[in-house]
A and B are shown apart, each in its own frame.
Chain A
Amino acid sequence: MSALRAVGLLVGKDLVLELRTREMLSAMGVFALLVTVVFTFAFSPAPGQAAAVAPGMLWVTLIFASLLGLSRTFALEREERCLEALRLFPFDPALIYVAKAASTLLVLLAVEALVVPALAVLGGVSPGRAAGPLAVVLVLGSAGLVASGTLFSAMSVHTRMREVLLPVLLLPVAAPVLLSAAGATAQLLAGRPLAAILPGLRILAAFDVVIAVVGSVVFEYVLEE
């Protein structure tokens, strides 16, 4: 079986599961909206301040929502002893990492497609012409969250602390994602030119590549028992 086909099958399995239950989509979507409401209550920004708070609110919301999704990534596999079966297949364990990251990323992007427009309305900001570049920032940032989060999710699901350990591992390691993505979003919403966010995009892309490569290499050490 070729690597591509193996990844395709694994991603397909996850997506079929998700489409039949819509568990993550609904849980992450509702949770993201709730976090936005909580933030608005807590900060109660004046109408003029909305643009200043919105980028940070967006990325903290997305990080919390993805933590929620990531904590479930391997939970189902473990409960049904599916992970053991996956390990028996004669392919590189890195493919499990790639497939899990890909399916989680697709779900997260679907959640973002639903939630980000709602957040823009609630936050009182309109991206306007920045919508395209903003989508790039969202994809790069989400990829970084998922690349590091999938690795740590596989680790935390095997421990007693489970969901508690995941944010403690993910938040400091994924700090470059939050800093660069929130910074780039703020620049875009302030109407700055594309050149102003290039350094942020470069850091995001570098983070995605470095973590994805290292994650693929070390994933077999996380799975083995």
Chain B
Amino acid sequence: MPPDSHRELARPARADWRAAAIAAGSALLLAGLYMALLYAPEERTMGAAQRIFYVHVPAAWVGFLAFAVVCAASVGYLGTRRRAWDLTAHASTEVGVVFTTLAIASGSVWGRYAWGTWWSWDPRLTTTFLLWFIYVASLMVRAYGGTGTQPSRFAAVLGIVGFLDIPLIYLSVLWWRSLHPLPVVVGAEGVGSGLHPAMLHALVVNVVAFTILYVILVSLRREQMVVADRLTARAGRSGVRAGAGEVAG
């Protein structure tokens, strides 16, 4: 194999914008961390525990953004059959599951301090938990869904159905909770109104930083998949050639 062929697989030219994004994202993440821990004022009732907010909200936002991208890319894939759409959906599902897990875990820690319990069946928490299940199932479909384009098609169908299901899940959980109301549910995430300006600044910086992180992760993961595709195709081709040689010999 000539030495250039590795470089041809990785296509370094495209990495330029990503290097810039990684630099900008890292700077913003550090700034966000500083603002969350030091710049934003202490919350009156919850104290330092409230600072989870600056990780929790951006993580939840990225989780939902990822699944919106999955739905759009799934529609694109079923419509055009371009592998590029499928790769975007796949990478976005993986990154979305990671951030949703982070949102649920940080929400649980938050709940420990805000509501005195690790888990409450709060509508947002429950909806997010069900979403997590749907997209984990989507990864299972991709892993065990069979051969050829079948896993991609099935995951795309689930990506569309799952995303359209979100409002229905939320409404049903809301109604279910209203039948047996929780004793105290603090409207802890009342973004905007009761928020100190410094808190809002810290939140915005973290949301932007997490969004850039999401874009970088999806792009990196996508590129890995592209390379994996090329390697598989190359292995297949050389396998065919070797087979043909044997027959000829």
Contacts and interface: CB of A to CB of B under 8 A. Distances in A.
A222 interface: yes
A221 B165 CA distance: 19
A169 B146 contact: no
Contacts of B184: none
A216 to B, nearest CB: 12
A172 B134 contact: yes
Contacts of B160: 214, 218
Contact of A169 (B78, B141, B150): B141
Contacts of B140: 161, 165, 168
Interface residues of A, number: 34
A21 interface: no
A224 B149 CA distance: 10
A225 interface: yes
Interface residues of B, number: 31
B162 A173 contact: yes
B85 to A, nearest CB: 13
Contacts of B145: 155, 158-159
A146 B45 CA distance: 48
A186 B164 contact: no
A203 B171 contact: yes
Interface of A: 148, 151, 155, 158-161, 165, 168-169, 171-173, 175-176, 179-180, 183, 186-187, 199-200, 203, 206-207, 210-211, 214-215, 218, 221-222, 224-225
Nearest to B176: A179
B173 interface: yes
Among A158, A159, A160, A175: residue with most chain B CB under 10 A: A175
Given A168-B137, A169-B137, A221-B78, A183 B165 contact: no
Nearest to A223: B153
Contacts of A200: 172, 175
B161 A214 contact: yes
B144 A225 contact: no
25 contacts: A151-B157, A155-B141, A155-B145, A155-B157, A158-B146, A165-B140, A165-B144, A168-B140, A169-B141, A169-B158, A175-B169, A175-B173, A176-B165, A176-B169, A180-B176, A183-B175, A183-B179, A203-B168, A203-B171, A203-B172, A207-B172, A210-B164, A214-B161, A218-B78, A222-B157
Interface in B125-149: 130-131, 133-134, 137, 140-141, 144-146, 148
